[in-house]
Amino acid sequence: MEPAVIEHVQKEIDRLANKEVFIHLETTNGAYASHFDESFFSSGAYIRNAKLMYEHGKITGKGPYRVGLKMNFGWVYAEGITHFEVDEEDRLLLAGHDFSGKLAVALQISEIPFE
């Protein structure tokens, strides 16, 4: 993966807009609770192969970034994105790492289901 560059990520988000895609979205304690003692607070979210179509998407911020996907019935967004890549299967893989390098958030968009 390489550091997220707004222009490159936006181009890939736009490429997948208005298509049926599969989403993988995952957060860990690092995304929202990095300032808490882990024994005090624990959080996480995970969804894989949610099928949806988004009208448009946007990457915003000064880094780490927020990526939002606007659907006709709401939004999907991930906050804390620091890195991205387009893999050999043409999937957009976005990740956010905390200050210690631990994965805190992942948002992946694919035209084919994830294994």
Closest CA to 81 of 100, 108, 56: 108
Nearest to 71 by CA among 113, 22, 17, 13: 17
**Closest to 111 in 3D by CA, of 15, 31, 25, 47:** 15
Q: Does any domain span residue 115? A: no
CB environment 2-11: b (16+ within 10 A), e (fewer): eebeeeebee
Confidence band, pLDDT 50/70/90 cuts, at residue 53: very high
Q: Kindly state whether residue 45 falls inside one of the protein's structural domains.
A: yes
Confidence of residue 42 (pLDDT cuts 50, 70, 90): low
Per residue in 61-93, pLDDT (tens digit) is: 999 999 999 999 999 999 999 999 999 999 999
Read off the DSSP letter of residue 73. T
Whether 33 is in a domain gets the answer: yes
* pTM greater than the 0.85 cutoff: yes
- The answer to whether residue 21 scores a pLDDT higher than 70 is yes
CATH of the domain at 31: 2.70.180.10
